[in-house]
Amino acid sequence: MIKTIFFDFGGVIIKQPNHRGINFWKKALGVTGCPEIMEMLENPHDSQLVKDICLGKLPEDYMWMLMTEKWLLKPTAMKFLKRWMFSKRQLNRAIVNFMVELQADYNIAILSNAGDQTRALLEDTYQLKSVVDEMIISAEEGVIKPDRRIFEIAMERLNTRPEHSLLLDDYLTNITAAREFGMHAVQFISTHQAIAMVRSCLDSRQA
């Protein structure tokens, strides 16, 4: 029986920047080059910079400093870019509403590969503190998914077991790792699909 549901942050609770949005801002700001930054924006799972930030080896401010320097941005331009990337419009409200709905019957947690400013973002900007029982952020733990150690931390923090837990994540490697750890797991492809599959998984494991 599933008792605890873990939600990923980037790509699930908040929408990932898409190519159209990235290209719009590149054109608007007149920036070119810097493969390291473009990899970070377009393919964060394979970016060493993103991994170091999510491991807590680098502060998130380093990323913004790098973008400012490499793209020769003025502080006002960077302010607008940050506001776009983490605006309330990027919040997947259907997923958040689903989390609120599940609160009555399940423990709800966020389990995210994310940087050192994420907790403040989740609590202050997106006001999700009241929606979840726990927030487990990789930069604070020094370990990232798919490392099984972060799943062990999650089990301990929520006082649960893998077979009683479900992960909703957009990255297939994390889904595979969670299943190998013994958790139930659903890959986020679209909002409608994810909610339907989580409901199905919960319904089939009520007993």
Residue 100 or residue 87, greater confidence: 100
The 3-class secondary structure across the chain, one letter per residue, is: CCCEEEECCECCCECCCCHHHHHHHHHHHCCCCCHHHHHHHHCHHHCHHHHHHHCCCCCHHHHHHHHHHHCCCCHHHHHHHHHHHCCHHHECHHHHHHHHHHCCCCEEEEEECCCCCHHHHHHHHCCCCCCCCEEEEHHHHCCCCCCHHHHHHHHHHHCCCHHHEEEEECCHHHHHHHHHHCCEEEECCCHHHHHHHHHHHHHHCCC
Average pLDDT over residues 179-196: 98
In the chain, where are the structural domains located? 4-14+89-204, 19-88
Q: What is the pLDDT of residue 90?
A: 85
Mean pLDDT (whole number) for 52-71: 84
Pick the residue with more confidence: 46 or 91?
91
199 vs 29, higher pLDDT: 199
Name the average pLDDT for the chain.
Answer: 87
pLDDT of amino acid 21: 56
pLDDT value at position 73?
67
Residue 37 in this model has a pLDDT that exceeds 70? no
For residue 203, is pLDDT > 60?
yes
**Looking at residues 59-82, what average pLDDT do you find?**
74
Per-residue pLDDT tens for 122-181? 999 999 999 999 999 999 999 999 999 999 999 999 999 999 999 999 999 999 999 999
User: Where is pLDDT greater, at 36 or 74?
Assistant: 74
Task: Please state the rounded mean pLDDT for residues 19-29.
Answer: 57
Proportion of the chain above pLDDT 90, given as a percent: 64
Provide the pLDDT for residue 204.
87
In terms of CATH architecture, what is 4-14+89-204? 3-Layer(aba) Sandwich (3.40)
**Once rounded to an integer, what is the mean pLDDT over residues 4-26?**
77
16-25, 48-57, 69-78, range with the lowest pLDDT: 16-25
Who has greater pLDDT, 23 or 49?
49
